[in-house]
C-alpha cells in the first residue's frame, strides 16, 4: 500500500521512521517546513499539501495536535477530501473528540473515502520503540486493511468499536488517569499537612480501595518511587498540557453525550490552572507540585 503521512512532529516522526523501516513507501507533509525536511531526510517523499499527499497515496496516516488541525487537513482548502480517490483508507491517529472523528468520517464517506480513528498511548518513547497501544474505531474491514501499517507503529492493537470508539476509549482512560493524579496529589498533600509519612501512606493505600495506577506506577510525590517522574523533577512522561487537553476533550464528549462529568471537569480546570502557572510541559504528576499548601498564617 502506498502510504501518505501528515504530521511529522514529535510523535509523528518516529512513527514515520518505523513505517519506512518496515519497507513502506511514504509521501509526507507537515505544515511546518522544518518538520517536513526532517521527514524527507529520513526517507519520505515530499508533498506540497494534504491534497498532494492524498493524490499519491492509497492509505493516509494523520497525527495532528488538535481537532481543528484534523478538520483542516481533511476538509479544508487543499485538504485530503479534495483529492483522495474513492476507496482511500484514512487512519487518523490524533487524539481528538469522537464528535469530530465522526463528522470527518461522514464527510469522507460521502465521497467513498474510508476513515478509522486510531489514537495511541505510549508517548514519544512508545512511538520510537514501535510499542504504542493503538485504540481503534472503524469498520472491521477497514481496520484489517490498516493493520499492516498499524503493526509497524504499535505493539498492542485494540479494535474498540465503530468510528469514534478509539477516541472514546482513549479519552475515557485518560479521564480516569487524569482525575486520579489530582486525587492522589490531594490525598498526599493532606497527609503532608497532618504530618503523615508518605511512604506509610503509600503502603496503606496500595493494598486498599484507593489503589490506582497513578499512585503505583507514577507516584506524584518526589522520592517515593525512583522511577517515577516526580523523582526526576517531573520530566515527562505525559505532560500537564496534554492531560489537560485530553480531559477537556473528555468533558466535551460528555457534554455532547448529555452526561455529567463533575470530577473530570474539576480535574480539567486544575490542569488548566497548573499549565497557566508554569507546569504545562512537566509531567502531569507535577499537579502535586502545583497543589502546594497555603501559608501557615492564612486563616482557616
Question: What residues are annotated to the active site?
Answer: 170
Q: Is 41 or 298 the residue whose CB approaches its own copies more closely?
A: 298
Q: Strands 132-137 and 120-121, how do they pair?
A: antiparallel
In the complex, what is the shortest distance from the CB of residue 58 to its own copies, in angstroms, rounded to a whole number? Answer: 26
Within 10 A of 151 (CB to CB), how many other CB atoms are there? Answer: 14
Q: Is 86 or 296 the residue whose CB approaches its own copies more closely?
A: 296
Contact predicate 267/177, CB 8 Å: no
Q: Is 21 or 129 the residue whose CB approaches its own copies more closely?
A: 129
In the complex, what is the shortest distance from the CB of residue 13 to its own copies, in angstroms, rounded to a whole number? Answer: 17
Q: Is 26 or 264 the residue whose CB approaches its own copies more closely?
A: 264
Cell numbers for 231: 523523582
Q: Is 26 or 116 the residue whose CB approaches its own copies more closely?
A: 116
In the complex, what is the shortest distance from the CB of residue 90 to its own copies, in angstroms, rounded to a whole number? Answer: 20
State the Cα–Cα distance between residues 181 and 178, nearest whole angstrom.
5
Within 10 A of 274 (CB to CB), how many other CB atoms are there? Answer: 24
Contact predicate 26/5, CB 8 Å: yes
Greatest Cα-to-Cα distance within the chain, rounded to the nearest angstrom: 69
**Region class of 157: left (phi > 0), else alpha (psi between -120 and 50), else beta:** beta
Q: Is 41 or 260 the residue whose CB approaches its own copies more closely?
A: 260
In the complex, what is the shortest distance from the CB of residue 117 to its own copies, in angstroms, rounded to a whole number? Answer: 11
State the Cα–Cα distance between residues 270 and 96, nearest whole angstrom.
20
In the complex, what is the shortest distance from the CB of residue 68 to its own copies, in angstroms, rounded to a whole number? Answer: 8
- Which of these, 91, 47, 92, lies nearest to 67 by C-alpha position? 92
* CA distances from residue 121 to 92, 173, 194 in whole angstroms, order as listed: 14, 10, 37
Residue 62 belongs to what H/E stretch? strand 59-62
Helix (H, G, I), strand (E, B) or coil at 136: strand
In the complex, what is the shortest distance from the CB of residue 7 to its own copies, in angstroms, rounded to a whole number? Answer: 13
Amino acid at each position: 500500500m502506498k502510504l501518505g503521512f501528515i504530521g511529522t512532529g514529535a510523535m509523528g516522526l518516529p512513527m514515520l521512521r518505523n513505517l519506512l523501516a518496515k519497507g513502506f513507501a511514504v509521501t509526507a507533509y507537515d505544515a511546518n517546513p522544518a518538520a517536513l525536511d526532517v521527514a524527507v531526510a529520513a526517507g519520505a517523499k515530499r508533498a506540497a499539501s494534504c491534497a498532494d499527499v492524498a493524490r499519491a497515496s492509497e492509505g493516509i496516516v494523520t497525527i495532528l495536535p488538535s481537532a481543528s488541525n484534523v478538520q483542516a487537513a481533511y476538509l479544508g482548502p487543499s485538504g485530503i477530501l479534495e483529492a483522495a480517490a474513492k476507496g482511500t483508507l484514512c487512519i487518523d491517529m490524533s487524539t481528538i473528540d469522537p464528535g469530530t472523528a465522526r463528522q470527518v468520517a461522514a464527510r469522507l464517506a460521502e465521497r467513498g473515502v474510508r476513515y478509522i480513528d486510531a489514537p495511541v498511548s505510549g508517548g514519544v518513547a512508545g512511538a520510537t520503540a514501535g510499542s504504542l497501544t493503538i485504540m481503534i474505531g472503524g469498520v472491521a474491514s477497514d481496520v484489517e486493511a490498516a493493520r499492516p501499517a498499524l503493526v509497524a507503529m504499535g505493539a498492542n492493537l485494540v479494535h474498540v468499536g465503530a468510528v469514534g470508539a478509539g477516541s472514546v476509549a482513549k479519552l475515557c482512560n485518560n479521564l480516569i488517569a487524569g482525575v486520579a493524579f489530582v486525587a492522589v496529589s490531594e490525598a498526599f498533600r493532606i497527609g503532608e499537612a497532618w504530618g503523615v509519612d508518605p511512604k506509610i501512606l503509600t503502603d496503606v493505600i496500595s493494598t486498599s480501595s484507593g489503589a490506582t495506577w497513578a499512585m503505583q506506577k507514577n507516584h506524584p510525590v518526589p522520592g517515593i518511587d525512583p522511577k517515577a517522574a516526580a523523582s526526576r523533577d517531573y520530566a515527562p512522561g505525559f505532560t500537564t498540557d496534554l492531560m489537560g487537553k485530553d480531559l477537556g476533550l473528555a468533558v466535551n464528549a460528555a457534554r455532547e453525550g448529555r452526561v455529567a462529568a463533575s470530577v473530570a471537569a474539576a480535574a480539567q480546570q486544575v490542569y488548566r490552572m497548573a499549565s497557566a502557572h508554569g507546569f504545562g510541559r512537566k509531567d502531569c504528576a507535577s499537579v502535586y507540585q502545583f497543589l502546594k499548601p497555603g501559608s501557615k498564617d492564612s486563616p482557616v
